[in-house]
Chain A
Amino acid sequence: MKDKLSAKDYPIAETRPEQVLGRRKKPLDSLTLEAVIDGEVEIEDFRITPQALLQQAEIARSVGRAALASNLERASEMTKIPQSEVMEVYELLRPGRAQSQKELLDVAQRIRSRYEAVLLAEFIQEAADFYHKRGLFRKRY
């Protein structure tokens, strides 16, 4: 098992630029102005990867910021989810949007199976439990 990253590896764009890749595996130093002008790179190439988020999570955890690390790990899973679906789940997590616990649990199941998003699925399940407990499945508008 390789060593986990820590504060000494930060910022990774400076300490290991060759390993920092965009979403389509283009390394950082290939994302040049010329490449943009020539249309060789697209906005997709500037999207953060799940790997980079996990590396940042390791660094955060190494300096005692486990909560931040967990968020970055959830984010890492979320990179796979399309924007519209990210916003759709967000909307459902707002108070009174989902009309039942089952509605949220179904979403959790879908997120888990479609995107292998274990952490996010657990997170939604947990929300569903508390929303149920606190009576949040009530109509707001």
Chain B
Amino acid sequence: MSDNYDANRWKRFDDWDARSLRLDKFAVEDPENGFSAFHGAADPKPMLSLKGGLVTAMDNVAAADFDMIDAFIANYHIDLEIAEEAMAIPSGQLARMLVDMNVPRTELTRLARGLTPAKLAETVAQLNAMEIAFAYSKMRARQSPGNQAHVTNAKDDPLQLAADAAIAVALGFDEIETTMRVARNSWSNALACCVGSAVGRAGTLFQCSSEEAEELEIGMAGFTSYAETISVYGTESAFIDGDDTPWSKAWLAAAYASRGIKMRCTSGAAAELLMGFHEAKSLLYLEARCLCLQRGMGSQGTQNGGIDGAPLASSMPGGVREIMAENLIAVWLDLECASGNDARHSESDMRVAAKILPYLIGGSDLICSGLGSILKYDNSFNPSSFNGEELEEFLVLQRDFEADGGLTTVEDARALSLRRRAIDALSHVLKDLGLAEATEMMKRSVAVASGSNDTQSFTPRDVALISEKISGNDVTVLDVIKSLHRGGFIEESENLLFLVKLRVSGDYLQTSAVVRNNKVISAINDPNDYTGPGTGHRLTEARRHELANIRDVLDREEVLRAEAVSEMGEKKSIRYQIMGLADPGTDTDEIVVGVSPGFGLKIFRTLAGHRLSAVLRALKAGIERGGGAMRVVRFWHTADTSFLGLSAARLSGSGIGIGIQSKGTAIIHQKDRLPHNNLELFSNAPVTALEHYEQMGFNATVYAKRLLPNPIVVPTKGEALGARFHARVALTYAIETSMIEDNASPENLKLTFLEQSA
């Protein structure tokens, strides 16, 4: 501690400066310079003029002045049969319809087809964050929520990709997405994830984010089943700077469909601002343009919600609300929404958790796009909101809110066996197809590795060669299926074949399609039909059970098992002998220690982990140091600390007693005081040390002499002791209370300490 009291600011600010939150940079609202979530300096007022079946003006721009985005939206998004009716509805009324559970989703998606970008933006801007979240939940297209994983690593190591893909599948992700550190490794990454994702179950869709032409080729070779790299932008200059036009992107959209590959576009707040072409328009208005464009292109869906621009959007006032608002526009436009929550928008875990909540409890087609199933440093897209590190937090949030975030706990023995299976399968394919040979050491290191820092696997050069051979030898997914079959990986070959067959019917080209239990479900056969409580997505009992079933949960048997282990140690340390009923004492040096019914009988250690024999030994030492004598009495009529203490005091010749529960909560009491008006209390048993019990024994003797000692302070570091211990406390205490007998008399106990050391 510093003794310098001359500081010129409150030291709390130093504490705040040290928090990870302060690594985040925040920006002032500056609409002229593009820093406005909802109110850009140049945002147009919504309007639409039609003449002779043509749009003559939209959002204050005459048709003659349309840029490519306006023109594309006017041609392909605006439904002339609906536009007049829809644009005539005041935006305030549309906003209320969005949050009105009695207005069906389909009525709103119909009207959206006639609304201009400015009208869509003006409408959702009127909703507060809670209303947006509710409307999003009501408006999203597919009823069953889902999730997407990133599977990448810093070395582009195929063995690790396969192992991690298998884990992502086991966790329940509907889609997995990979990308590379080195562009030429794309074929290797694709093949590795493709094999890994066939382990365990069939139907997890897979994409390899790479250069447009190559991505399509990899898809045509059958390794991937979807794509989401078709980025669009809200200003013409940004679009051109991104080296595309609405027409070139729409061409690509048709190209994917023509090859039977699921496709969605990507857009997100602040991309235009990052690229330097914002036109002084708000994030939301530009996103509304992007989304109308995507609907017009005929994309079934969008990856939307900040995406790479999320950190910049979140630096502005209302930025996170805006991200929610743009997602709402996406689903209002009837698009599948892979709702961002990927690029980590903050260094603060609290900001991250707060941002995910509406999506978790309201559901989304793909809640994250994606969630980093690997460690942060292995994420080649950049760290996600949730990563391998925080994945269990996501599982627990699902359990807390009984909200289906699409994931399921993977038990640890199963995790390792899936990893080994994926590694073996891929190693076989690599060898069988003459691509590479993995050594036993490589395989073993990857199987147990949490991240690529722990692996001894292929070098970056090896990977480049593997990738070159796959593409050079025209390897297709059918070669991989055959190879898996040759290697005895029959189930994996079948799973992979299942995925490739999906493209023949094209069923998964429909809005919000994913595969569950070997069936394609989408907004067509699993439409969100929310119309109020009891409708829409509800957890089944089986799914509720899955969400509850996280790792390491405590039950009564577990507590008793742990105590049984301690019991054996205690039997060697202490013997309790009942010496008949306890009567009031007369010795003024006497300090009665009243123990609870289960003390040393069912429970043997305090929450801090001290053996009860050691606690009694410490109390005895303190009492004797103060010149007192300890008498131990077991009470049967109560397990409550206050009453244990008061009852002990009333039996004590000195009038001072100590009450102690098995879990270690202890109290000093005086016979004439009210039950809850004690002399001293150790309420935080988990942080109470043996020396505190010794001091308590000593202080009791000081009170016995009618003097005032220094009360003992048990320091805490602010631990959330309730979170750490209350489940065990409740179970332990229930064991004690079940032993209570009304009106049962206390018994004197004779202690024999069997070992000198505690």
- Listed in ascending order, the chain A residues whose CB lies under 8 Å from chain B are 7, 10-14, 20-22, 28, 31-33, 36-37, 41-43, 45-49, 52-53, 55-56, 59-60, 63-72, 74-79, 81, 83, 86-87, 89-90, 93-95, 120, 123-124, 126-127, 130-131, 134, 136, 140
Contact = CB atoms under 8 A, between A and B. Distances in A.
Contact of B481 (A14, A36, A127): A36
Contact of B525 (A10, A53, A75): A10
22 contacts: A10-B524, A32-B497, A41-B478, A46-B504, A47-B503, A48-B259, A48-B503, A56-B510, A68-B300, A68-B510, A69-B298, A70-B76, A75-B255, A78-B257, A81-B258, A83-B220, A87-B216, A89-B251, A93-B245, A95-B245, A127-B245, A130-B247
Interface stretch (B67-75, B270-278, B358-366, B587-595): B67-75
Contacts of B260: 46-48
A33 B497 contact: yes
A94 B497 CA distance: 35
A48 B506 contact: yes
Given A46-B501, A70-B298, A65 B243 contact: no
Contacts of B478: 36, 41-43, 46
Given A36-B482, A67-B295, A123-B247, 13 more contacts: A7-B524, A10-B507, A12-B507, A31-B497, A31-B501, A52-B504, A52-B505, A68-B511, A70-B298, A74-B257, A93-B245, A123-B251, A130-B247
Contacts of A36: 478, 481-482, 485, 497
Interface string B503-517: 111110111000000
Given A46-B503, A52-B504, A95 B243 contact: yes
A38 to B, nearest CB: 10
Given A43-B222, A52-B504, A71-B250, A95 B240 contact: yes
Contacts of A65: 300, 334, 511
Interface string B540-565: 00000000000000000000000000
DSSP majority for the B interface?
helix
Contacts of A21: 504
DSSP majority for the A interface?
helix
A62 B295 CA distance: 16
A33 B485 contact: yes
B648 interface: no
Most chain B beta-carbon contacts within 10 A, residue among A12, A48, A67 = A67
B705 interface: no
A136 B243 CA distance: 11
B505 A53 contact: no
Contacts of B255: 75, 78, 86-87, 90
B739 to A, nearest CB: 60
B519 A14 contact: yes
Given A64-B109, A65-B511, A78-B254, A20 B247 contact: no
Given A11-B519, A33-B494, A48-B260, A127 B217 contact: no
Contacts of A124: 247
Most chain B beta-carbon contacts within 10 A, residue among A12, A20, A77, A95 = A95
Contact of A33 (B216, B296, B493): B493
B663 interface: no
Contacts of B251: 89-90, 93, 123
Most chain A beta-carbon contacts within 10 A, residue among B220, B256, B257 = B257
Given A67-B298, A68-B511, A74-B298, A94 B244 contact: yes
A48 B297 contact: no
Nearest to B523: A63
A87 B298 contact: no
A107 B276 CA distance: 33
Contacts of B494: 33
Given A59-B524, A83-B216, A134-B236, A123 B250 contact: yes
Interface string B59-86: 0000000011001000111010000000
Contact of A64 (B240, B334, B510, B522): B334
Contact of B258 (A43, A79, A130, A136): A79
B110 interface: yes
Which are the 3 A-B pairs with shortest beta-carbon distances? Answer: A71-B298, A75-B257, A48-B260
